[in-house]
Amino acid sequence: CSSIPLDLILKTAGVDSVGGTVTGTKQSLKMLKTLRITKLLRLFRINRLFQYLKKVMLLIEETLNIRISDGFTKLMRLGVGALILAHWIGCFNFLLVRLHDFPSDSWVVYAGLVDKSPYVQWSWSFFKALAQMIMIGFETPP
């Protein structure tokens, strides 16, 4: 983590620094927490999952002597990819609201999700992301 220019990143984000060191403000702590997002780059290994699924499909075809069409496998890849994308979008939308300390006009506050369990928060975020992906999620939240 020493190769990341933290002071420069925080300076461009508008966080004050004293004598070249970052002050212990609440905002700088939030920025430090967001640096953990770089761990998300590991998610780009999702191609391995698709290769594994391809091997499983071939194994099923060989053991059960059935033919799975290429169109079906492409459709399954599209569906799994869309669900993964919806998960990422939902988590990112919730992260943005959380980093701004749950503004009173946010969808999280409207839905009463601030003090709910992480599963309830995730399911609402996932639903919201799916609704946005099919273009029905831009109305006033319930």
For the cut 90, the answer to whether the pLDDT of residue 117 exceeds it is yes
Kindly tell me the sign of the dihedral angle through the C-alpha atoms of 7, 9, 11, 17: negative
Q: Average model confidence (pLDDT) for the chain? A: 79
* pLDDT tier at 23, thresholds 50, 70, 90: low
Burial of 91 (0-12, 13-18, 19+ CB in 10 A): middle
- Roughly what angle, to the nearest 10 degrees, separates helices 70-99 and 46-64? 150
Tokens 């002597």 belong to 65
Query: What is the mean pLDDT of the segment spanning 34-46?
Result: 70
132 within 8 A of 94, measured Cβ to Cβ? no
Closest-CA residue to 56 (of 80, 84, 40, 83): 80
* pLDDT tier at 91, thresholds 50, 70, 90: very high
Q: What is the pLDDT of residue 141?
A: 54
Q: What is the pLDDT of residue 134?
A: 86
Tokens 């831009």 belong to 138
